[in-house]
Amino acid sequence: MKRIVFLALVGLVAARSHAQSLTTVPSANAAVEGSNGLSTMIRSLPRSLQTVISASELTSVLNGQITGLTFRLDNTAFTAQPGAAINFANYDIYLGQAATTPSTLSNTFSSNYVPGTKTQVRGGALSLASGYFPRTNPAGPNDFAAIIGFNLLGGNYSYTGGNLVVELTHTGNGATDFGLDAQTNSAQVASVGSVGYNAATADGINASLAPVMRLQFTPAMTAAPEPGTLALLGMGALGLGLARRRARQA
């Protein structure tokens, strides 16, 4: 019985180390449709979009590992999108510590990063199946699409606090455009956008709108056990083994 309890404990720790959580930014739009639609994130032509998220929006993520993100369809769409599969030759995502606040966002992309913190977490081709962004609520908001996972740095970005930059740039899907849910720039979340892949300067194409975004992350409390924790578990196993041995000798 003791062995079963111990193995169950080990299994629980292992399961918690892989648990994923989700958070929506802006948090005020978690269950509320945004004020507009924005196609920059999935445009048929090359685009770049940089978003700064206030630390106040990321308290649940603090000291956790961000592993992916996604968006949801704007409520102006009449059917799930895209109507047919779309492909991006390059769909790159960068994260980093913000040197600005959402309210003081610069049109120069590099100026919004604390120097040396810009980190690429996703790169290469991306394919989105037909209907990837579901239409689940005609009045909005629709459900979020499946997570676009990170494929660099082991799929994890360590968030240790402060305002966060989320930058994506892509080569365009070459086929279709449709709106994803977005909200007017605010003190919590703000974006600047530009025509082109790997653009360096914003040109106002996103009309001061920030995407309603969902982040996937592994919370700090579910991070993999530290060596000290594993040592304690090992000592517990040894103790249980000795207890069983003594019981047999009694």
What string of H, E and C letters represents the secondary structure of 133-182?
ECCCCCCCCCCECCCEECCCHHHCEEECCCCEEEEEEECCCCCCCCCEEE
- The reported pLDDT for the residue numbered 221 is 74
- The reported pLDDT for the residue numbered 225 is 54
pLDDT tens digits in sequence order for the chain, 250 residues long: 544 444 444 444 444 446 999 999 999 999 999 999 999 999 999 999 999 999 999 999 999 999 999 999 999 999 999 999 999 999 999 999 999 999 999 999 999 999 999 999 999 999 999 999 999 999 999 999 999 999 999 999 999 999 999 999 999 999 999 999 999 999 999 999 999 999 999 999 998 999 999 999 999 975 455 455 445 445 454 454 544 544 455 4
Query: Six-digit token pair at 75?
Result: 């409520």
- The reported pLDDT for the residue numbered 203 is 95
- Residues 6+ positions from 21 with CB-CB distance below 8 Å: 60, 64, 216, 217, 218, 219, 222
- Residues 6+ positions from 156 with CB-CB distance below 8 Å: 65, 66, 67, 150, 218
Q: Is 183 helix (H, G, I), strand (E, B) or coil?
A: strand
- Residues 6+ positions from 104 with CB-CB distance below 8 Å: none
**Residue written as token pair 């913190």:** 117
Strands 148-149 and 64-71 turn out to be antiparallel
What stretch of H or E contains 229?
A: helix 227-249
Q: Is 122 helix (H, G, I), strand (E, B) or coil?
A: strand
The 10s digit of each residue's pLDDT in 12-33 is 444 444 699 999 999 999 999 9
- The reported pLDDT for the residue numbered 230 is 46
- The reported pLDDT for the residue numbered 162 is 98
Alpha-carbon distances, residue 84 vs 128, 132, 136, 173 (angstroms) = 9, 9, 18, 11
Nearest to 190 by CA among 213, 207, 209: 209
DSSP 63: T
How many CA atoms lie less than 13 Å away from 238 in the CB half-sphere? Answer: 6
What stretch of H or E contains 189?
A: strand 189-195
DSSP 72: B
